[in-house]
Amino acid sequence: MTPPDSDATASSDPGGRSGPVMQLLSTGLQRWLRSRCQAVETLHINLHGSAFQLLRGRLEGVTVLARRVIYEDLEIEQVNLRSGPINVQMGNLLKGQSIQLDGRFQIRGSLSFTPEALTRTLAGIRWRALGDALAEQVLGVVPLQRLQIRNDALVLIAEGVPIGTPVVLETLVGTNDGTVELRSRDGELRVSLPMDPNITIEQASLEGGMLKLNGMALVSP
């Protein structure tokens, strides 16, 4: 694995948007984000707001760009997120303590997954039940062996009977009622994935050999 790369910066303009306070917050947020993840290969953050606002405990937002992230055993290839306003307790941070965020805040953006990473995720202990449920609903057999992307289709593959005979179905990816929906080409089969109520998926697509999800979420620090 290549060494992790990090870059935490503040937006800069004459309104007090750069300087030691913003850089201190950048470093604190970087550490906070890494502490929430099991792995992050590269991480770049950019703060939006001014030091004057920050000293009053408010930040306009944060942009996060990251690659090869593992969060709650979910392998994510690319992360591109922008938060809404965040309330920050600066007192502890100025004393050299860990950053503390107050209240929930909204994030919007996209996550991208390779089929190989999704296969590993759904084979793991934490997500295996979801993979098996998906295989049973879509293919009629378990366990799910692997996922592939072929042009405009997400392909689900399991082992059938007799042993060694693959069961394969191409599915089209979309959204329904705030979650990801897989459907067969003839439209007869439609399966919606369970979703955390704090997460809304607004668009799901296959781009550049990856599954890309766009949406919003409410984050509780």
Provide mean pLDDT across the span 107-124.
97
Convert the pLDDT of each residue in 29-60 to its tens digit: 999 999 999 999 999 999 999 888 888 889 99
Average pLDDT, the chain: 89
What pLDDT is attached to residue 20? 84
Instruction: Specify the range with the lowest mean pLDDT, choosing from 17-21, 56-60, 94-98, 140-144.
Output: 17-21
Query: Does the pLDDT of residue 22 top 80, yes or no?
Result: yes
User: What was the pLDDT predicted at 89?
Assistant: 85
pLDDT digits (tens, 9 = 90+) for 70-87: 999 999 999 999 999 999
Residue 50 pLDDT: 87
**Which pLDDT score is estimated for 7?**
58
Q: What is the DSSP string of the chain?
A: -PPPEEEEEE--STTT-SSHHHHHHHHHHHHHHHHHSSEEEEEEEEEES-HHHHHTTEE-EEEEEEEEEEETTEEEEEEEEEE--EEEEHHHHHTT---EEES-EEEEEEEEE-HHHHHHHHHSTTTHHHHHHHHHHHTSSSSEEEEEEETTEEEEEEE-SSTT-EEEEEEEEEEETTEEEEEETTSS-EEEPP--TTEEEEEEEEETTEEEEEEEEEE--
Tens-digit pLDDT profile for residues 172-210: 999 999 999 999 998 899 999 999 999 999 999 999 999
Of residues 101 and 111, more confidently modeled: 111
* pLDDT of amino acid 5: 59
